């Protein structure tokens, strides 16, 4: 599974549209949607909103973002057992998440991390990267 390099220019190119879609989906102002905004912690998104946002991004950018793909990519080559045990992400798993979610400040990715809390880490930039990865056919 390749993880193509994504440049800041590529992110900057689609960020305004992604921010507009997120603001629209969450009913907030566009200027509240920063690249590093946590959709859940900062913008009060709920998991159902993620589906709406992904659907809108797919429609806007003509890509297909498979459900659970971010988690799969974050896990990389680790098996499920190596990645998490009893709903808690392992140290190796936390390292993988830090490497995958480079846009998330490392201090937000704390161990112990519950698997269910991973979506709380997702930022506007995370969604930009999802779109770009799909555009590159990764």
Give the CATH number for residue 129: 1.10.1200.10
**Which pLDDT score, from 0 to 100, does residue 105 have?**
87
Residue 1 lies in a domain: no
Is residue 88 within 8 Å of 112, Cβ to Cβ? yes
Burial of 12 from C-beta contacts in 10 A (0-12 / 13-18 / 19+)? exposed
What average pLDDT score do residues 112-126 get? 93
Asked if pLDDT for residue 4 goes beyond 80, the answer is: no
- Edge-first strand order for the sheet with 113-114 is 84-85, 88-89, 113-114
What average pLDDT score do residues 35-56 get? 94
Residue 2 lies in a domain: no
pLDDT band of residue 138 (cuts 50, 70, 90) is low
**Which pLDDT score, from 0 to 100, does residue 135 have?**
94
Residue 29 lies in a domain: yes
DSSP-based three-state secondary structure for 90: coil
Residue 3 lies in a domain: no
Residue 25 lies in a domain: yes
Contacts of residue 40, Cβ cutoff 8 Å, sequence gap at least 6: 46, 119, 120, 122
What average pLDDT score do residues 45-54 get? 93
What average pLDDT score do residues 80-89 get? 95
Phi, psi (rounded to 5 degrees) for 88:
-115, 130
Residue 53 lies in a domain: yes
Task: Quote the domain boundaries for residue 104.
Answer: 8-135
Asked if pLDDT for residue 12 goes beyond 90, the answer is: yes
Residue 91 lies in a domain: yes
- Number of structural domains found in the chain: 1
Mean pLDDT of the chain: 92
């Amino acid at each position: 599974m390749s993880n193509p390099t994504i440049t800041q220019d590529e992110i900057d190119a689609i960020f305004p549209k992604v921010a507009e879609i997120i603001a629209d989906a969450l009913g907030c102002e566009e200027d509240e949607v920063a690249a590093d905004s946590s959709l859940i912690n900062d913008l009060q998104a709920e998991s159902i909103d993620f589906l709406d946002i992904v659907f809108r991004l797919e429609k806007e950018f003509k890509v297909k973002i498979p459900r659970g793909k971010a988690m799969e990519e974050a896990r990389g080559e680790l098996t499920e057992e190596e990645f998490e045990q009893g709903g808690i992400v392992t140290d190796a798993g936390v390292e993988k998440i830090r490497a995958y979610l480079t846009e998330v400040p490392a201090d937000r990715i704390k161990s112990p991390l519950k698997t269910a809390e991973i979506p709380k880490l997702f930022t506007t930039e995370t969604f930009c990267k999802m779109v770009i990865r799909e555009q590159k056919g990764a």
